Structure 1
């Protein structure tokens, strides 16, 4: 059974200008993947007929399915229907079902229907009309037999997300499932932290080289983390799941110390599960991260079972008067130092009476650094009864990156200490 390929094309100058964020293509690709259809390309094109025609031709050579969104409104800049007519050598005609629906749509809403609204009921004569019950722009389904004598499916939908989702869910997906015989695509994600992509690749090279032909591996790096995505293609989902699990069982001994979860287990979720299972609590003292670590904890439902609270000690007076950092510690070593961040962690743990505590202090940027402590200098600490570990990070001058990455490293330090790893 061959893999069915799809291409998603978004139409509209507003996307290319950056005035609208394209969320449609991600959602559509996810839904296609669920029914065994692989998205091979995503394209965006402006409201220019020649460019749209070029995209159509290129997409037809690459994919079995071309899904289009945008350019279906009542105004002159919406040219998708006219361009489809030109591509398929067709003409626009009033579709009576579409006209009836649009008329009813405006009547029920107590609004007058203009001639522009009426023209939305015009669609290429040879397409199948897909009723959009959430708006006035129609969906259109084309079955096009090109030069290769292979039938390609073109589907045109509105760019408004909730209208596109309605059509995809109620019209497009059911039709695609009937039209194509598709394989199963099964994904499994291994979540790792604290090890670089290249180093990780070296550790598992022999395992990766011996993966079965129908199981592929991808490396997906982010802040301090690498997700290993295993993708298996076949006909029986249960068999694929077992085959992927067998491969995971082979690789885990090589990387187990770096693995914190699977699939959608974010780091803060995995840590929360460990804290809850062990009946332990954590608190946070944040300076340069400004409450971001606290946000990561509290966005998890049920985190009140283990996350007690935090102190955002941005000013030194809060470090001293609330957390109990000694004034001379800051005078002698500075707020961004091992000594200060250690006392912050120990202070918030004592203040909020928790088993563990995390603290951060640094120069997030983009300015404020010195020759001794340049922008990107960050100290983190994790404290428990009788033990505090501090680590220094030297990062970039990108503020958001420093806050995100520093928070992940701080959480990973907590994870290690929870697992009894007090040295690494």
Structure 2
């Protein structure tokens, strides 16, 4: 290492995609950085330094992850860090406890026994304190502590079964003998179920919908700048506990028709739904082109904008519904979202990356199904999305890119100055 790269080396790896050797160096007791040395033009080589990042604990380790995007996972004795840029910028992973609270020092001096990752950008960390931390990569990496029981012999290991199931393999010493192959006991963790348990810390909790709602019901096109964050008490007496849905799944409610308390039939006709508070963090899986519309389909935005005072309970009903499968005056836009649900199409709700409770108002709009105005309400609790950080992702991207460009410019200037100095020294020696 050159004089400008002094510090204790805590790890190294090859990044074949960049033809680089990467070193993790602790520059001071509270800072560290990655050093990159290119070997593509051996014996000549060039080196560069990444941005320094703050560390708190002792020791320091890192490994490349399996997502295929040059991601690195770094940890000391207190915190976990992540880089999506082969170490050029390193960001702390926000780790939340099983109760949903942010853990300032998630490792708490525990030793990391194993890290497993997959190509879907998920990772899991196993510690000698029998803790499993599950997380996902990203510009703002986040993770949660899974509430699972791991045997305390320190010999267990993790193994991905598929994208949503993680196995804990532990030696079964009681059923093994010295003359045979060691037996293992296996415990399978359903990641979705554990994230669901974390999301439901009480039976029917209060829900905060933050800034992701539009009181004018225009899906974010209205004036949302002056809105305050909403925290709503859930009406358990009216709605019962909400249906639980994993954020990565698709959802299509089954609507049944009752006469008083007597079941009549399942409703197969066209219906629409809206979130009663104006939450718009969900969408639809199909477009007008995909379902075969021959005319422009109606939408909540277009129907609400026809009203002087927004009222979604009356904006779109059987009285003004027009099927897009019937010729109309306007041709459909190919990629326009199709917002009608029925048994006739596979259209469904596509959740966003938010944990919240949606209270939907459903209206049957098919004019041929009934002369009555049929409607009802139900609630869905979406879980499994990791908590969002307070700093917007774009701000971090811009800041990181800005710092990176600054470091690149500084490196170029230093290189030019050093080159010029060398040239001057050679000229002096020649004289």
Q: Which one has a larger percent helix, Structure 1 or Structure 2?
A: 1
- With the length of structure 1 as denominator, give the TM-score of the two structures: 0.23
TM-score by length of 2: 0.23
More strand by share: 2
